[in-house]
């Protein structure tokens, strides 16, 4: 009898997609929206600006981290089997191709079309007489007074040029024949607008600040010959964090981290394509960059700045009609939030549903004499945050207010430092996060004295307490009064603010102590159902999937016959549709006008479906290095709505794309007459529900009653 063949595990490169390359594919899909001629011009320009902004953060954090890893541990392999150098090589190739497509779209397509539509960028050579005189006056009155040229010398790398700041590199020579050539750098201050509006009878015409300065550069250097003036923009490594175990004062140490970003290694140099080899060599030495880290761009540097042009007023015909968030039927305008939540749990799906009810809960809590305390986690907030104002007012009204302000929220550190101080001055008890972890959970608890005793009202969500992004990101809010969830929430706050040990919660699951285990156990349960011949199904909607343990467990579930559908917006390291590995897994990604940000998980569980919302993506950092929450949703109506949301997104055949085993995406096949654009469908449903509610309000009959006997 022949011996049974031992089943061998597929090599890493066959099982997993690389995280960084997966992210670049995601950003290429954002670019596809900018390339789409069916989308209005200013919205296309907005998507190009988003691509540029995404790349900035990618290079600052991911490429910066890989460069550090390549220097410290060059033999390290990621779980897809690639070394840091291999990843950097692949990133360079993919990023260069992406940027080339981005600039071709802007230069050859969008800019000419915008000019035809009345939004015209002028080069110096195109200025008419009145515009030229205006530009020269602007240069003399403002630019010369604000900007300061900095003399530079060739030599060791210098680290005084700020990252993400636009600069001009200038080569000069004096009048004398034997005068030496010298180099000067002009940092362009953010105090000056990038877009200088020019006088025009009808159209909006502008010149870029770097083009204006280059045209009148001689005003900076009278008596010298300008040999070259070219724009460049360094990107510095931002993958650094405070040593919390050595930080007696976290606030001051976070400031040191912010300062360090301005002098860290340069990981990318964006350089205008007109730069000579002489200037290129000088900048390489000045910034300490290799040739491979230089991106020569045939167009304006920093296209993320084009977000300002995309937001110009008076050009509504060039952008999509805005979708106004609807007031949910469950939370009528002005209604008391405590009474509404007492009646039944409320589930909101922003931005289709307005964020106002969440804000209203906090505002009413701040003024309610029966409210004793408010506890809240703040990760990212808006600049003029109404949430923060409500917490301040609550403290001033004598409530006990505790706010955990996460100082380590990347790129929001400075704002959160200001938030923490502002709240402290108002009498709020402020905690600066948890040592060694980022607190990313979305939780607010309002403690209220009621006739039946102390009650806890909870807001649990998938998104930040930020009124601005709540209108741009799709997120779930769950408002509930549940004694067990309330007890869990109280224990959770005690654990993260009071040095207590993480608890075993009855309903909640929290990272880093139990969230992954809860997910793995739930997947194991589906595997058992499938092995016993019962229907087994998993649906999950998260932003990223890059946790090897979860990926391997999903592979195991697929091989057991569990039907799995994943709605992953961005990074996905799982390879779907691989025979013998993942043929029962489908991955769909959606990019549309709203940023998909909600985290929703569904397990069929033998017909007794279990639904959760979460703050956590399925990534190592979220599950091991962050404080996150997984929240069960038990209300039948709320569960029904979450299921509908998932089904709607999985049916998207317009903005959805299916991930292929090789890491590429393709448009799903639509059934005849069944084209579905999930975001549009969900918005139309929200509008219909709102109008029906309004119609019912206006058609209520109110009888005339006889006057009361006197």
68-85: b (≥16 Cβ within 10 Å) or e: bbbeeeeeeebbbebbbe
Distance CA 675, CA 158 (A): 56
169, containing H or E segment: strand 167-174
**Chain-centroid distance, C-alpha 343:** 34
* Cβ contact 289:163 at 8 Å: no
Task: Check if the beta carbon of residue 374 is closer than 8 Å to that of residue 362.
Answer: yes
Helix axis angle, 250-261 relative to 413-425, nearest 10°?
150
* Three-state secondary-structure class, residue 15: helix
Task: Write the CA distances from 408 to 290, 372, 423, 433, integer angstroms.
Answer: 31, 29, 17, 8
Instruction: Tell me 298's DSSP state.
Output: S
Q: Is 605 a catalytic residue?
A: no
| Tokens encoding 19 | 């995280």
| DSSP 8-state class, residue 194 | S
- Bridge-partner residues for 225, per DSSP? 173
Distance CA 254, CA 378 (A): 17
What is the Cα–Cα distance from 527 to 534, expressed in whole angstroms?
Answer: 10
Instruction: Count Cβ neighbours within 10 Å for each residue of 212-250 and write b for 16 or more, e otherwise.
Output: bbbbbbeebbeebeeebbbbbbbbbbbbbebebeebeeb
Cβ 154 vs Cβ 282: under 8 Å = yes
* Exposed / middle / buried, residue 125 (Cβ in 10 Å: 0-12, 13-18, 19+): exposed
CA distance 390 to 428: 11
CA 272 to chain centre: 28
252 vs 255: CA distance, rounded Å: 5
Instruction: Exactly one of 440, 459, 597, 649 is catalytic; name it.
Output: 440
Number of CB atoms found within 10 A of residue 102's CB: 25
Active site positions, annotated? 440
């Amino acid at each position: 009898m022949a011996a049974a063949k031992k089943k061998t595990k597929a090599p890493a490169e066959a099982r997993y997609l690389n995280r960084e390359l997966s992210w670049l594919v995601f950003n290429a899909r954002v670019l596809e929206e900018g390339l789409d001629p069916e989308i209005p011009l200013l919205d296309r320009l907005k998507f190009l600006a988003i691509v540029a902004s995404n790349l900035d953060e990618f290079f600052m954090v991911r490429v910066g981290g890989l460069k550090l890893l390549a220097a410290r541990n060059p033999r390290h392999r990621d779980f897809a089997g690639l070394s840091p150098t291999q990843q950097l090589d692949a990133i360079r190739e993919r990023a260069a191709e992406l940027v080339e497509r981005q600039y071709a779209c802007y230069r050859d397509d969008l800019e000419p079309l915008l000019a035809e539509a009345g939004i015209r960028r002028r080069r110096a050579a195109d200025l008419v007489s009145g515009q030229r005189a205006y530009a020269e006056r602007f240069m003399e009155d403002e630019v010369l007074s604000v900007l300061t040229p900095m003399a530079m010398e060739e030599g060791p790398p210098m680290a005084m040029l700020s990252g993400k700041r636009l600069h001009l590199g200038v080569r000069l020579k004096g009048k004398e024949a034997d005068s030496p050539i010298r180099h000067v750098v002009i940092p362009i201050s953010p105090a000056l607008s990038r877009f200088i509006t020019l006088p025009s009878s009808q159209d909006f015409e502008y010149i870029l600040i770097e083009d204006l300065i280059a045209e009148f550069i001689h005003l900076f250097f009278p008596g010298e010959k300008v040999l070259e003036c070219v724009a460049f923009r360094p990107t510095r490594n931002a993958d650094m964090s405070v040593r919390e175990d050595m930080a007696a004062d976290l606030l001051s140490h976070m400031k040191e981290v912010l300062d360090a970003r301005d002098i860290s290694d340069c990981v990318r140099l964006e350089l205008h394509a007109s730069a000579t080899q002489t200037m290129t060599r000088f900048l390489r030495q000045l910034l300490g960059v290799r040739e491979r880290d230089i991106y020569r761009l045939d167009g304006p540097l920093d296209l993320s700045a084009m977000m300002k042009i995309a937001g110009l007023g008076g050009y509504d015909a060039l952008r999509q009609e805005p979708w106004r968030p609807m007031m949910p039927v469950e939370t009528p305008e002005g209604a008391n939030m405590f009474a509404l939540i007492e009646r039944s749990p409320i589930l909101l799906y922003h931005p289709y549903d307005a964020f106002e009810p969440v804000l209203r809960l906090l505002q009413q809590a701040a003024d309610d004499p029966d409210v004793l305390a408010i506890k809240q986690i703040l990760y990212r907030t808006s600049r003029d945050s109404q949430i923060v104002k409500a917490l301040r007012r609550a403290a001033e009204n004598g409530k006990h207010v505790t706010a955990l302000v996460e100082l380590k929220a990347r790129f929001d550190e400075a704002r959160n430092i200001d938030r923490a101080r502002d709240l402290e001055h108002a009498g709020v008890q402020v905690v600066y996060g948890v040592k060694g972890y980022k607190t990313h959970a979305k939780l607010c608890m309002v403690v209220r004295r009621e006739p039946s005793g102390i009650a806890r009202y909870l807001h649990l969500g998938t998104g930040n307490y930020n009124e601005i992004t709540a209108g741009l990101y799709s997120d779930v809010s769950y408002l509930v009064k549940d004694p067990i969830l309330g007890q869990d929430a109280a224990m959770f706050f005690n654990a993260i603010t009071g040095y207590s040990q993480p608890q075993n919660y009855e309903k909640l699951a929290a990272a880093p102590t139990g969230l992954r285990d809860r997910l793995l156990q739930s997947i194991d349960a589906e595997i058992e159902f499938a092995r016993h011949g019962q229907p087994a199904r998993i649906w999950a909607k998260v932003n990223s999937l890059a946790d090897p343990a979860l990926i391997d467990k999903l592979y195991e579930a697929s091989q057991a016959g569990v039907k799995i559908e994943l709605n992953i917006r961005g990074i996905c390291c799982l390879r779907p549709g691989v025979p013998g590995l993942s043929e029962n897994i489908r991955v769909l990604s959606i990019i549309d006008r709203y940023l998909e940000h909600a985290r929703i998980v569904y397990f069929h569980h033998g017909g007794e479906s279990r639904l959760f919302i979460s703050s956590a993506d399925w990534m190592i950092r979220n599950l091991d290095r962050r404080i996150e929450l997984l929240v069960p949703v038990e209300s039948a109506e709320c569960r029904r709505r979450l299921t509908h949301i998932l089904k709607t997104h999985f049916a998207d055949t317009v903005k959805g794309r299916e991930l292929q085993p090789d890491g590429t995406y393709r448009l799903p096949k639509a059934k005849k007459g069944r084209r579905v654009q999930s975001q549009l469908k969900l918005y139309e449903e929200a509008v219909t529900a709102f109008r029906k509610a309004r119609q019912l309000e206006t058609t209520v009959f109110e009888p005339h009653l006889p006057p009361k006997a006197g």
